[in-house]
Amino acid sequence: MVEWFYLIPDFILVGTAIGLIIAETTYSREPTRWVLWISGLAVLASLLELFRFGIPSREVTILSGSLVIDGFSVFARTFALLLSAGTVFLGAATKELSERIKVEFFALVLVAAVLLGLIGTANNLLVLMAATQGLGLFCVLLVALAKGSPKAVEASIKLLVVQVLGFVFFTIAVALLYYKTGTFDLTELAVKLKLSPLTELEAGILFLFLLTSVLASSASFPIHFIVNDLAEGSPAPVVGFVLTALPAAAVFVLLRLVVPLFVVRDPGSSVWQSTIHYPWSEVLGWIGCITMVIRGLLALTQTTVRRLVFNLSGFSFGVILVGVSALTDAGMSFALYQMLFLLFAITGSLVFVSYFTDLIATDELSSWKGLFWSRPKESISFIIFLLALCGAPPFFTFMGQVFLLGQVFATGRSFLAVISVFATFLGWVCLGRIALTMASLPEIKAKQYEHSSIGVPRGVVLGLAMVPLFVLTFFAERGLYWMSEAIRFVLW
Domain extent listing, the chain: 279-492
Q: Are the C-beta atoms of residues 250 and 217 closer than 8 Å to each other?
A: yes
Helix 226-233, helix 236-253: angle, nearest 10: 150
Across the range 365-378, mean pLDDT stands at 83
Q: Is residue 111 over pLDDT 90?
A: yes
Mean pLDDT calculated for residue range 401-425: 73
pLDDT at 308: 84
Instruction: Return the pLDDT at 223.
Output: 62
User: Does residue 1 or residue 164 have the better pLDDT?
Assistant: 164
**pLDDT band, residue 214 (cuts 50/70/90):** confident
Would the pLDDT of 28 be above 70? no
pLDDT of residue 221: 57
Query: In this predicted structure, what is the pLDDT of residue 337?
Result: 80
Higher pLDDT, 281 or 104: 104
Mean per-residue pLDDT, 143-162: 75
pLDDT of residue 447: 45
Flag the least confident range among 315-319, 357-361, 373-377.
315-319
pLDDT of residue 480: 66
Which tens digits make up the pLDDT trace of 44-93?
889 888 887 666 667 778 888 888 888 888 888 999 999 998 888 888 77
What is the C-alpha to C-alpha distance for residues 29 and 160, in angstroms, rounded to an integer?
A: 33
Mean pLDDT over 16-27 rounds to 82
Residue 268's pLDDT band (boundaries 50, 70, 90)? low
Which tens digit of pLDDT belongs to each residue from 219-237?
665 565 666 666 666 788 8
pLDDT band with cut points at 50, 70 and 90 for residue 492 = very low
Record the pTM: 0.87
| pLDDT the model gives residue 136 | 87
Amino acid identity for residue 424 in this structure = T
Question: What pLDDT is stored for residue 225 in this prediction?
Answer: 61
Rg (CA), the chain: 22
Q: Angle at Cα 188 formed by Cα 185 and Cα 193, nearest 5°? A: 115
Looking at per-residue pLDDT, the higher value among 384 and 275 belongs to 384
φ, ψ dihedrals at 282, nearest 5°: -65, -40
pLDDT of residue 444: 46
Q: Over 60: is that where the pLDDT of 404 sits?
A: yes
pLDDT of residue 30: 56
Query: How do the residues of the chain divide into helix, strand and coil, expressed in percent and rounded to 5?
Result: 80, 5, 20
Give the pLDDT band of residue 294 (cuts 50, 70, 90). confident
Strand partners, 263: 274
Question: Is the dihedral angle over the CA atoms 307, 309, 310, 311 positive or is it negative?
Answer: positive
Give percent of the chain with pLDDT exceeding 70: 79
Q: Is the pLDDT of residue 397 over 70?
A: yes
Whose CA is closest to 294, among 315, 324, 316, 323? Answer: 315
pLDDT band at 116 (very low <50, low <70, confident <90, very high): very high
364: helix, strand or coil:
strand
Q: Percent of the chain scored above 90 by pLDDT?
A: 6
Rounded distance between C-alpha atoms, residue 389 and residue 397, angstroms: 7
pLDDT per residue as tens digits for the range 423-468: 788 888 888 888 888 888 665 444 445 445 666 666 766 776 777 7
Higher confidence at residue 393 or residue 459?
Answer: 393
Tell me the C-alpha distance between 476 and 492, whole Å. 26
What pLDDT shows up at residue 446? 46
Q: Does residue 147 carry a pLDDT above 70?
A: no
